[in-house]
Amino acid sequence: MTERCDFDPLAEDFIADPHPTYARLRAECPVAHSDRWHGFWALTRFDDVLAASIDPDTFTSSQGVVVPKNPVSGRRPPLHYDPPEHTVYRQALNPPFTKRRVRTLEGTLRTTVNDLLDPVLDQGGAEMVATFTSPLSTLAFLALLGVSGAEGDALREHSERFEAAQMAEDRETAEAESQLLYHYCRTLVANRLANPGNPRTDIVAALATAKPDGQPIDPEVIAGSVRQMIIAAHIAPTGALASALWHLALHPDLQDTLRERPTLIADALEELLRIYTPNQGFARTATRDVRVGEAAISAGDAVALVLTSANRDESVFPDADQVVLGRRQHHLGFGHGPHSCIGQHLARTEMRIALEVLLARTTRWELDGEPTWLAWPVYGPKTLPLRITT
């Protein structure tokens, strides 16, 4: 067996650009190890991530799905359950997240994008995460959830503070922000259960139909699941869309191509999702001793499925660091297997509309300063100052 090789996901150069480290690890040590957060393994190659994603018997979600583990949240369906229990919840939740359902929101999402962009374009640019990508992610999920957008700013702020505290292992702040989110979700769930909606379009009604033990789910569990979805629907699309805007700022030729041929925007989006996948620390826990390549993983070890790295695996994606329009290889931007992202149709749609509208209403955007970067377990710009020409 080769000597175990370590990496530090909080090293300054890694946060600024993890891809050189991932390229080295894929070539030299595809199952790497970090001593951060009590230690964890990191699968960096596409095939290893793919295999672990479809093997819940060996790599369970029941102990948490992120490294470091959430310090305050308990198990919430469907994310923290394995099949067959997971399947009951996922099948109940699928209808409100279908392409058909999301398609009915396109008008609302387009209006939201235009409303967010109006002040940005009037002033010739802005810091795009705070003014655009972050509020859009929250408002898009609220549209799917069927609540007023007036609540979006407060929910976004609580989500951001919770996420920052979780990454900093600031248990006190994370608990406080979590309870504020729980309070909102408990009120929402109580109101929805008192006035049931259509389970094909309403998330709360859909969860209420799931009966894993022949009994309805406790309202507290439904509230926890909705809170979990608010967090998940915010952070990943926020980072992914900000990364896409950053890439296009650095590649004005691609901007021009997409303005001239907007039918290519969907293709470009798939590539941007692939090379800037925001989920680094999506995780499992080993249920038994298992070897992956030359690494000996012990039962109970945390294992990160590093989608950010797997999607640049050169053995699967030729010219892996480049946007190649028309590429048809399946990527892992939304995961794979039972836990593939249930919100992927919403995320794709909100990001596509954002790019369509921004490209149509501008002639160029470029950096107006250096971005700062989110740290593990996510990836993408934390701040993104752009100068925009209409």
* Nearest Cα to Cα of residue 239 among 371, 99, 125, 42: 371
Is residue 292 scored above 60 in pLDDT? yes
Q: Per-residue confidence at 74, pLDDT binned at 50, 70, 90?
A: low
In angstroms, the CA 203 to CA 92 distance is 9
In the DSSP assignment, the letter for residue 297 is E
pLDDT of residue 2: 45
3-state secondary structure of 4: coil
Q: Is 335 left (phi over 0), alpha (psi -120 to 50) or beta?
A: left
Contact residues for 260 (Cβ-Cβ < 8 A; gap 6+)? none
| List of domains in the chain | 12-389 (1.10.630.10)
Q: What is the pTM of this model?
A: 0.94
In angstroms, the CA 188 to CA 219 distance is 10
pLDDT of residue 175: 84
Is residue 57 scored above 90 in pLDDT? yes
- Give the distance, in angstroms, between the CA of residue 313 and the centroid of all CA atoms in the same chain: 20
Residue 125 corresponds to which tokens in the numbers above?
A: 């640019």
Measured from the Cβ of residue 85, the count of other Cβ atoms closer than 10 Å reads 15
Residue 274 corresponds to which tokens in the numbers above?
A: 């692939």
* Nearest Cα to Cα of residue 362 among 7, 164, 124: 124
- Residue type for 264, please? L
* Nearest Cα to Cα of residue 310 among 44, 63, 1: 44
3-state secondary structure of 390: coil
| Tens of pLDDT, residues 109-124 | 999 999 999 999 999 9
In angstroms, the CA 79 to CA 345 distance is 17
| Tens of pLDDT, residues 148-169 | 766 767 777 787 788 777 767 6
Residue 252 corresponds to which tokens in the numbers above?
A: 């004005």
